[in-house]
Copies of this chain bind each other. A is one copy, B any other.
Amino acid sequence: MVSLTLTGGTFLTMAEHLSQRELDYPFKLLEYFNGFRISEAIFSACELGVFDLLLQSQKPLSAVEVAQKLGTSEDGIERLLDVLVAIEIVDVEVVQGTAFYSSTDVANLYLAKTSPKSLHDLIIYNSQTIYPLWNNLVDAVREGKNQNEKTFGLPSEEIFSAIYRFKNVFIKCARSSRFASYVILRCVAGCSGALARELAKEYPSSTVTVLDLPAVVQTAQQHFAQQDDTICFQEGDFFEGEIPPADLYILARIIHDWKEEKNLKLLKNIHTACHPGGGVLIAEALLFENSRGPTMVQMFSLNMLVQTEGKEHPPSHYTHLLTEAGFRDVQVCRTGKSYDAILALK
């Protein structure tokens, strides 16, 4: 009834061997120290609209022109543009001593707001929420709990209040699976509804419901109200309220936010509501079974410490959790990209 096909891939790793050369001079360490500057240079350019302007412009622009159009200082934008050139996100050509900047394919595809693959909202979320949280990583490690209170003055148990500070936040859930036609899909905690939109387009005869907290549903509806009449939004708390019956439940980056007992309760409730022969599809970043990688997932797990009450897990944890909740036939598929998939049937 439900099929899942994912292509394999290599795992992202940031590690390079720190060699003897590093003992002579700490080149790689200094790059690591500068990591936050690279992140913020891209985040700030996004926020200022640099990539949108360069995409829309019919010709390369000087720093003076960019400054005029974006309302920034000339000196500041020139330094920022030069850094973006250095990391190959912006192109430059120098004509008679003046530098003219233009966008790259990568920037047009991922950094301009209008691109369907735009990461703009993810970037704003990183810049305004996660970056300041990580300045309190020391306390997160000491206390073993998230730093929402210290960073934003928000109660630590309300792990999403920091995100909801920004009404326009909406994190794109990458669609990483194929389903047979005519399956009724329900997406628990659909966040922005981006995944729901993709599914409704692919399977027009299916019913797609997004169940999430009122604040999230209202934001998502603003994004999708016009173009997707096929998607039904339902306000509710998936830990406390009743879960509507469906064939497939998709939990995209839900489990990693919460403690084990909450997740078990949620999955048991889903199992009860699920149509016989249906199932649950979990999208999460999977650790290796021995927890020794992938690097990016270890990084996510540290992020969960700073930001939530959960963590990232290896496949066996999900198998255990799903089996305990009553599901069977657990299949784990690594995608080689940011998020992997776990499917289980009732």
Residue of A9, A29, A131, A145 with highest tally of chain B CB at under 10 A: A29
**Cβ contact within 8 Å between B17 and A299:** no
Residues of B within 8 A of A144 (CB): 72-76
User: Within 8 Å of chain B (Cβ to Cβ): is A85?
Assistant: yes
Q: How many residues of A contact B (CB 8 A)?
A: 88
- Nearest CB of chain B from residue A49's CB, rounded to whole Å: 10
Give the contacting residue for A39; candidates B34, B79, B110, B145; CB below 8 A. Answer: B34
Q: Name A38's closest neighbour in chain B (CB-CB).
A: B35
Residues on B with C-beta less than 8 A from A42 are 29, 32-33
Q: A30-B12, A88-B15 are in contact. Are A25 and B106 (CB under 8 A)?
A: no
A8-25 Cβ-contact flags toward B at 8 Å (1 or 0): 010011111110001101
How far is it, in angstroms, between the C-alpha of A27 and the C-alpha of B43 when the chains are bound?
A: 16
Q: With A33-B123, A137-B41 in contact, is A13–B86 under 8 Å at CB? A: yes
Hey, which chain B residues are within 8 Å of A111, CB to CB? 29
A119 at the B interface (CB under 8 A):
yes
Q: Which residues, 27 to 62 on A, are CB-close (under 8 Å) to B?
A: 27, 29-44, 47-48
Write the A136-169 contact mask toward B (1 if CB under 8 angstroms, else 0): 0110111111000000000000000000000000
List 28 A–B pairs whose Cβ atoms lie within 8 Å, in order of A's numbering. A9-B25, A12-B30, A14-B87, A16-B88, A22-B106, A23-B109, A32-B38, A33-B122, A34-B39, A34-B296, A35-B39, A36-B40, A36-B126, A37-B303, A41-B302, A44-B141, A72-B141, A74-B144, A75-B311, A76-B144, A76-B305, A79-B141, A79-B301, A79-B311, A80-B302, A82-B298, A131-B135, A135-B135
The 8 residue pairs across chains A and B that have the minimum distance between CB atoms: A73-B144, A35-B35, A76-B141, A36-B36, A86-B295, A35-B39, A36-B39, A44-B137
